């Protein structure tokens, strides 16, 4: 099946959908802001990485050569995300009585384990901030030389108002510099080194007790949080590249500052398409660690939370996320998770049944239309909810085929299997989990024995036993249907 239609994506900078064009030969450079590794990632963080994993997978599916860069922030992210306070990693190191790089390694390992649980593909390159200190110092000096930064008491700050004289600072987030100034005019306490409260640190002077510090032309210090992404994205993708992604909360100030740094250093617009995944809410409220309303993936997988009714598998959670567009807010609830779990099982049962269907000489299943709708959905800014709807329509076709109400040719049967392989597994990144595979095989074997016993009971005209088996299975939410080919069962839980 050939791709149909042109790929369009929503560009945050222009606030509209635009036709996606990569250079020829088809190469795509994509940078996504990764985690700050001072703690375990929560499920809201995971939504962003799962969303961009689907985008990465689809671009690969279309035949693009994709260089996907996702960084690790291991220094420079301050406790209050401004230019004062303590580095989050250094603070955690003190609390746990560990070296900062032990904290980094511990939570980097945990992040990678979670990404594997969710079946995310690894990025092409995963650079760290501490491995690119030299480039950050060089970029800071370049911005100073261009007149857009100044040195103050051992720190280096980006001069936002100077930059705004020639550029539209705030264009990504829709902020106006006058309004920003008005909102921050009285907030200069502890920021006497700055010319303006809008200015942000490129390099921060370290106090003697600060654990993580390095030599620089301006004294001992550490890089600002925003600088690392400017340096690492351009090092591996060039001064101008295709896609920059991240969570919606990074749009301002992080991504706004990145644009300013890049343009100040190179004079060029760095990114063609800015893309942001929206937040995850919990029963209608924002999910965050600061409010205590959040889940760690391990809690979801074990069910170890008073907010959860039960445990959920990684693939049930991933499928739940596929049912909402990446730019829309997704509300997290037990009811929604259980519905997604049930829906995913429905698809897997239908796929199992598809393997038993035999091709015919004629066909009245329009598989080409299903493919077109699925591609149209993905080409419309990666609209996974519409793809899920297409797959459920395909499940209905499978049920009609199983019931003998439709026929399908050998060619269309192969194409129908390919539809699920392409869109469910390869693009949306779902998989058959090992435990489920084992449980499925065990369940099938047990049910074969039970149905054989029921068949023997009916043959012996022991209808009481036959009915008892059927009714007991019904209590377990297993329905049994007698067909010409024999009894069939389905789990409705």
Instruction: Write the secondary structure of 97-119 as one string of H (helix), E (strand) and C (coil).
Output: CCCHHHHHHHHHHHHHHHHHHCC
- pLDDT of 53 reads 98
User: 10 with 219: CB under 8 angstroms?
Assistant: no
Degrees to nearest 5, angle at CA 51 with 370 and 168: 115
pLDDT for the residue numbered 438 = 41
pLDDT tens by residue, 227-278: 999 999 999 999 999 999 999 999 999 999 999 999 999 999 999 999 999 9
In whole numbers, what is the pLDDT of the chain averaged over residues?
Answer: 90
Going from N- to C-terminal start, the domains of the chain cover 8-277, 281-427, 434-491
Q: CA geometry: angle at 461 spanning 459 and 464, to 5°?
A: 120
Q: Which CATH class is domain 281-427?
A: mainly alpha
- Tell which wins on pLDDT, 403 or 189: 403
Confidence class for position 485, pLDDT limits 50, 70, 90 = low
For the segment 415-461, what is each residue's pLDDT rounded down to a tens digit?
A: 999 999 999 999 999 998 654 444 555 566 677 778 888 888 888 88
pLDDT given for residue 444 in this prediction: 64
CATH class of 8-277: alpha beta
Radius of gyration (Cα) for the chain, nearest Å? Answer: 27
> 142-188 pLDDT, tens per residue?
999 999 999 999 999 999 999 999 999 999 999 999 888 877 655 54
Furthest-apart CA atoms within the chain: distance in Å: 95
Q: What is the mean pLDDT of residues 370-391?
A: 98
Q: Where are the alpha helices (DSSP H) in 174-240?
A: 177-184, 225-237
- pLDDT at res. 131: 97
140-179 in b/e form (b: 16+ CB < 10 A) is: bbebbeeebbbbbeebbbbbbebbbeebebbebbebebee
Phi, psi dihedral angles at 301 (to 5 degrees): -75, -25
Q: What confidence category does residue 189 fall into, taking pLDDT thresholds of 50, 70 and 90?
A: very low
pLDDT over 50 at 366, yes or no: yes
Chain-centre distance of CA 326, in angstroms? 8
Length of the chain: 493
Instruction: Show the tokens assigned to 161.
Output: 């108002």
What is the model's pLDDT at position 451? 85
Question: What does the pLDDT average to over 13-38?
Answer: 94
Crossing angle of helices 334-354/314-322, nearest 10°? 100
Question: Which distant-in-sequence residues (6+ apart) come within 8 Å of 433 by Cβ?
Answer: 313, 314, 315
Query: Which whole number is the average pLDDT over 351-371?
Result: 92
Q: Which of 18-27, 217-226, 294-303, 467-476 has the lowest mean pLDDT?
A: 467-476
């Amino acid at each position: 099946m050939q791709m149909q239609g042109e790929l369009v994506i929503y560009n945050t900078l222009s606030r509209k959908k635009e036709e996606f064009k990569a250079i020829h030969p088809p190469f795509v450079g994509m940078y996504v802001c990764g985690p700050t590794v001072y703690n375990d990632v929560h499920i809201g963080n995971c939504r962003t990485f799962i969303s961009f994993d689907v985008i990465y997978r689809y671009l690969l599916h279309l035949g693009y050569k994709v260089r996907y860069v996702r960084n690790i922030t291991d220094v420079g992210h301050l406790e209050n995300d401004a230019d004062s306070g303590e580095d989050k990693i250094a603070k955690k190191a003190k609390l746990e009585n560990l070296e900062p790089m032990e904290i980094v390694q511990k939570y980097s390992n945990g992040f990678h384990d979670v990404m594997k649980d969710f079946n995310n593909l690894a990025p092409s390159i995963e650079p760290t901030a501490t491995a690119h200190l030299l480039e950050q110092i060089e970029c800071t000096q370049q911005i100073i030389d261009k007149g857009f930064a100044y040195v103050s008491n051992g720190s280096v700050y980006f001069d936002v108002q100077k930059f705004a004289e020639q550029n539209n600072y705030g264009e990504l987030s829709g902020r106006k510099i006058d309004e920003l100034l008005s909102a921050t005019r009285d907030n200069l306490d502890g920021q006497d080194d700055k010319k303006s409260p809008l200015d942000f640190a490129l390099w921060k002077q370290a106090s003697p007790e600060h654990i993580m510090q390095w030599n620089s032309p301006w004294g001992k210090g550490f890089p600002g949080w925003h600088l690392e992404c400017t340096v690492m994205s351009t090092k591996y993708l060039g001064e101008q590249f295709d896609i920059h992604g991240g969570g919606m909360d990074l749009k301002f100030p992080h991504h706004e500052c990145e644009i300013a740094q890049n343009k100040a250093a190179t004079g060029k617009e760095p990114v063609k398409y800015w893309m942001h995944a929206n937040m995850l809410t919990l029963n209608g409220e924002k999910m965050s660690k600061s409010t205590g309303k959040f889940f760690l993936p391990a809690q979801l997988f074990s069910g170890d939370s008073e907010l959860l009714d039960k445990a959920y598998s990684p693939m049930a959670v991933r499928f739940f996320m596929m049912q909402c567009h990446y730019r829309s807010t997704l509300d997290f609830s037990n009811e929604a998770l259980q519905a997604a779990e049930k829906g995913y099982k429905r698809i897997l049962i239908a796929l199992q049944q598809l393997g038993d269907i035999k091709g015919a000489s004629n066909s009245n299943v329009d598989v080409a239309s299903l493919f077109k709708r699925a591609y149209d959905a993905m080409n419309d800014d990666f609209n996974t909810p519409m793809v899920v709807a297409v797959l459920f329509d395909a499940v209905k076709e499978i049920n009609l085929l199983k019931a003998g109400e439709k026929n399908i040719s050998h060619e269309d049967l192969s194409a129908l299997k390919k539809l699920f392989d392409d869109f469910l597994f390869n693009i949306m990144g779902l998989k058959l989990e090992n435990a489920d595979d084992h449980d499925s095989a065990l369940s099938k074997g047990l049910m074969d024995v039970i149905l054989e016993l029921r068949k023997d009971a009916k043959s012996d005209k022991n209808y009481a036993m036959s009915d008892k088996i059927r009714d007991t299975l019904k209590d377990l939410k297993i329905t049994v249907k007698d067909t010409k080919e024999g009894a069939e069962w389905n789990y409705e839980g």
